[in-house]
Amino acid sequence: MSHKSLKERVLHALGYEVTALLITIPGAALILQRPVGHIGVTVFAIALLAMAWNMVFNSFFDRIYPPRAPRNFYVRSLQAIGFEGGLLSMALPLTAWSMNMSLKEAFLMDIGLLLFYLPYTYLFNWIWDSVVNYYLERRTVKSH
């Protein structure tokens, strides 16, 4: 079983979060009709939480499903649901506090973000794994 290096985990988490921020901050500001700066601070704080959770969750996930082994729709769906479910449970109080809303309102907002993040997480991880595996295969072929 291949293990991802700390560098690869950090690059994965950074790529995931930066791409998501570029999409969600303007989108959420538009939908919620709040200033980009206010939304940006909240989403950035959640992104920092998500980066830490990403590294922890995917480290455990990779022990169950090896990172270089083929991952079918079922496995990728488990990965996306597990990651997003864990993050939602941690982000809910942060969202309610920072946006000055009730837990119910924060939950509804987070569910809206979750509707974006579930397919995003699935697609990002599929693309990431495909690109990394392609790069590693090319590097292995060149070294032989």
143, part of any domain: no
75, part of any domain: yes
Residue-wise pLDDT for 15-72, tens only, equals: 988 999 899 899 888 988 888 988 888 888 988 898 899 889 988 998 888 877 788 8
pLDDT (0 to 100) of residue 5: 81
Total structural domains in the chain? 1
DSSP notation for the chain: -----HHHHHHHHHHHHHHHHHHHHHHHHHHHT--HHHHHHHHHHHHHHHHHHHHHHHHHHHHHS-TTS---HHHHHHHHHHHHHHHHHHHHHHHHHHTT--HHHHHHHHHHHHHHHHHHHHHHHHHHHHHHHHHHHHHHHHH-
62, part of any domain: yes
Residue-wise pLDDT for 99-141, tens only, equals: 888 999 889 888 888 888 889 989 998 998 888 777 767 776 7
Domain housing 63: 6-138
Span 7-17, mean pLDDT?
A: 86
125, part of any domain: yes
144, part of any domain: no
